[in-house]
Amino acid sequence: MKQDDTLMHLSLIMETYNNLPKLYHRALHHYYICINEAADDVITILNKLLSKDEIRTCRVPLLIDFDKVTKLDYWLNCNIFKDLPEADSTALREKLTLMTNLLRELQMKRKQVDSKHAEQFFRRMMTRVKKNEHRLDYEIWRADPKHLTLDQLWAKEVQLTFDVLINGVLDFDSDPINKELEEVRLDLVKQALESNTVIPETFKAPAAKIRRYSYWAEELFMINYPLIFNELYQNCFEKLTPQQRWMLFDYDLQLNMLHEDIVTVKPELAKYLHGANNVSSLEDTIFFAPYIGIKKMLQQEWFKALRSDEKYNAEWADGFAEGLMRSEYGMQIAEEWKEKHIQIRGYIIGCLKNAGVINPKLSNDAIAREADMMGKWRSFGRYIGKESQQQPYSEWIFNHVNDYC
């Protein structure tokens, strides 16, 4: 049996056992030996994987449905535990509990993807996408001068995104919560689609999911690549079909061509594509307002009183704020700043607390009261807390916060 199949066969054996009549004791013993030895093999494979510093491939050498096999009840609900002698049943329970815990460790390790490695992987894959009929369709469409208006190009972005989403490319992602569903604007989607297009009733869920990884920069539909690459890297070979993978690569290529055309029509939008790393000064750019806001926040007296070390001074605040806005997350922060600057301030404070810049012994509510960013300090405390660690730039802050001391 190939190593890749080990866990799959263990699962199949135990599911098969549940459909059998009560077995003769010798047959029961053989099933026990088979399950026991297969579990040993899986544990050996998992220990080998977990001994590595990091998982450097998205093709983990086990055919794993993490949603299923990391639940202990999935394994312990097998009827064999009722049929085995008590000692054997207990020993097998302990082994499968160990195996499940190792699977959960592996699941967590796969989520700790190096963003640059994930991006490099997908960029290599994208170079293999040749000029296919869909790209040629777009080139034929763009050749018509009446299509090269902002309204037409905006509609094409929506149509292109709609087409890729209805093919299930984000089915692997967690189901949206009700708030995410409520924020979907199907009325705007409908405006952009051809009049004979039928929007499936199920479309609202993938539309809510893509909002997690995207934002609008005026007429440009922008993808948060570091965030979505990390998610796709974990799931692309496990949960996407080959056709869906190529659809994603092709979508990226066509979206880039659309962006080029939009910038041709409205050149001032080029600043959104090129990012803060391509400007000598942040002044007069979209990045300047959040840069100033973050910098000044970290130079206030409340921060001086709560910081863990005097090295986090005014000069550090200036360097850190500029570094963050010039990072790959600067565009997302800049786009969200106008409507969510209070939340973003709380997120950044929470990330700084997690990184040890702010005294970690202080409660989030205590920090919120001292910072006094808004009247409802308990709400601000929630931004500082768990919500801050859910932001895509939390890891960047943790890793780079001391680069500016």
Q: What is the pLDDT of residue 206?
A: 96
- Report pLDDT digits (tens) over 67-119: 889 999 999 999 999 999 999 999 999 999 999 999 999 888 877 776 667 77
Q: Is the pLDDT of residue 338 over 50?
A: yes
Give the model's pLDDT for residue 2.
Answer: 47
CB of 319 within 8 A of CB of 389? no
Angle between helices 364-371 and 377-384 (to 10 degrees): 120
Cα–Cα distance between 94 and 101 in angstroms, integer? 11
Q: Quick one: pLDDT at residue 339?
A: 86
Cβ–Cβ under 8 Å, residues 353 and 362: yes
Mean per-residue pLDDT over the chain, rounded: 86
Q: Which two tokens stand for residue 2?
A: 């190939």
Cβ atoms of 231 and 173 closer than 8 Å: yes
pLDDT above 90: residue 176:
yes
Tens-digit pLDDT profile for residues 253-272: 888 889 889 988 988 787 67
Say whether 222 sits in a helix, a strand or coil: strand
CA distance 204 to 190: 12
177 pLDDT above the threshold of 60: yes
Task: Choose the weakest-confidence range: 47-61, 87-101, 102-116, 331-345.
Answer: 47-61
pLDDT score at 298? 95
Asked whether 336 and 393 are in contact (CB, 8 A), the reply is: no
**What SS3 class is residue 175?**
coil
C-alpha to C-alpha distance for 150 and 390, rounded to whole angstroms? 34
Compute the average pLDDT of residues 39-52: 90
Across 221-225, average pLDDT = 86
Q: What is the mean pLDDT of residues 138-154?
A: 90
The set of long-range contacts for 307-311, using a CB threshold of 8 Å and a minimum separation of 24, is: 307/357, 307/358, 307/359, 308/356, 308/357, 308/358, 308/359, 308/360, 309/357, 311/405
Mean pLDDT in residue range 179-184: 94
Domain-wise residue ranges, the chain? 3-111, 115-272, 277-404
Q: Does the structure show a pLDDT above 90 at 44?
A: yes
Confidence of residue 1 (pLDDT cuts 50, 70, 90): very low
